[in-house]
Amino acid sequence: MNPETEFREGLDQLASHYHDILSLLGEDPEREGLLKTPLRVAKAMQILTRGYTQDPHKVLTDALFAEEYDQMVIVKDIDFFSMCEHHLLPFYGKAHVAYIPNGYITGLSKIARVVDIYSHRLQVQERMTQQIKECIQSTLHPLGVMVVVEAKHTCMQMRGVEKQNAITTTSDFCGAFNQAKTREEFMNLLRGDF
């Protein structure tokens, strides 16, 4: 399914609700500039939440290869955009993912796809970080996984405290990354300290 051209069931009903929302906000949804807005927003929301229709475990297993590599594999600076489930406003940033293979590796792009799938759901950053880690752990059964996510939240930038430069960092890890030395190696590699 191409999320830019194929849409899920309920698109027209979603557009109807956005028509009502425009009215409730005090706008005239029948004026020229807003005539197509309800449908545009409905399509955008389906694209921004396409992760509900995708299976991140299948993405990893579709490119699973036996390999005796047992050192850290890091995919860093994975750009993502997500929607805060509390305000339906975007948060965005970078995810950094490391795993230590245990007989199997996956295609590097598949790690980025897992981030993409979980970020394309209504989220909180803490849960998204944990979901990425748990998916890789339960699917690949590596010796360890660590995920660090850095993000800016427009709900903090545009409303509430209005702090435009605040960055939120979350992490989750398991297995070999429970050792401080392994976590430190990961963080050093993220910074480029070889």
Q: Which residues are catalytic?
A: 84-87, 125, 153, 155
Amino acid at 150: E
Q: What are phi and psi of 191, to 5 degrees?
A: -80, -10
The per-residue DSSP string of the chain comes to --TTT---TTHHHHHHHHHHHHHHTT--TTSGGGTTHHHHHHHHHHHHTGGGG--HHHHHHTTEEE----S-EEEEEEEEEEEETTTS-EEEEEEEEEEE-SSEEE-HHHHHHHHHHHHTSEE-HHHHHHHHHHHHHHHH--SEEEEEEEEEEHHHHHSTT--TT--EEEEEEEEGGGSHHHHHHHHHHHHT--
